[in-house]
């Protein structure tokens, strides 16, 4: 199912998704992001992600942790689907690895177990 990578809500008639390569964002999050970016332009306090992290309490960090973990999991699933689609189109492990910036062996080790019918890296 396609969900927003930011708030994890599925798409519906009132909240459509904009899809990018391996990611999706919903209308509501686009609105929030747009407002945030607009604010940031005038807010010298908001400099970097790590600086903003430092501004959260431990309780706030803890509350968001499950959503962050789910977001990473969703992104990993999308990446695997992406690689699987490339393999279905007979793109070699060497080419996939090159675009990921890793060795062919490590690309194969990372994805082949999650993709049905993956031949050995020596195969292609
Ligand atoms: Zn969203």
Nearest to 114 by CA among 86, 90, 80, 89: 80
pTM for the full model? 0.59
| Residues around the ion ligand 1 (C-beta < 5 A) | 4, 6-7, 26, 29
CA 44 to ligand 1 centroid distance, Å: 26
Q: How many whole angstroms from 14 Cα to the centroid of ligand 1?
A: 12
Q: What is the mean pLDDT of residues 17-40?
A: 82
117: left (phi over 0), alpha (psi -120 to 50) or beta: left
Segment 80-101 mean pLDDT: 95
How remote is the CA of residue 1 from the centroid of ligand 1, in Å? 14
Model confidence at 42: pLDDT above 60: no
pLDDT at 116: 74
């Amino acid at each position: 199912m396609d969900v927003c990578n930011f708030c994890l809500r599925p798409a519906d008639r009132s909240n459509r998704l904009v899809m990018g390569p391996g990611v999706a964002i919903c209308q509501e999050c686009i609105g929030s992001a747009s407002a945030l970016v607009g604010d940031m332009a005038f807010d010298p306090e908001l400099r970097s992600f790590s600086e903003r992290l430092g501004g959260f309490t431990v309780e706030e960090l803890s509350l968001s942790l499950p959503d962050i973990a789910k977001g990473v999991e969703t992104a990993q699933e999308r990446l695997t689907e992406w690689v699987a689609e490339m393999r279905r189109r007979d793109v070699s492990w060497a080419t996939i690895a090159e675009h990921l910036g890793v060795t062919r062996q490590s690309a194969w080790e990372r994805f082949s177990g999650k993709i049905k019918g993956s031949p050995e890296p020596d195969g292609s």
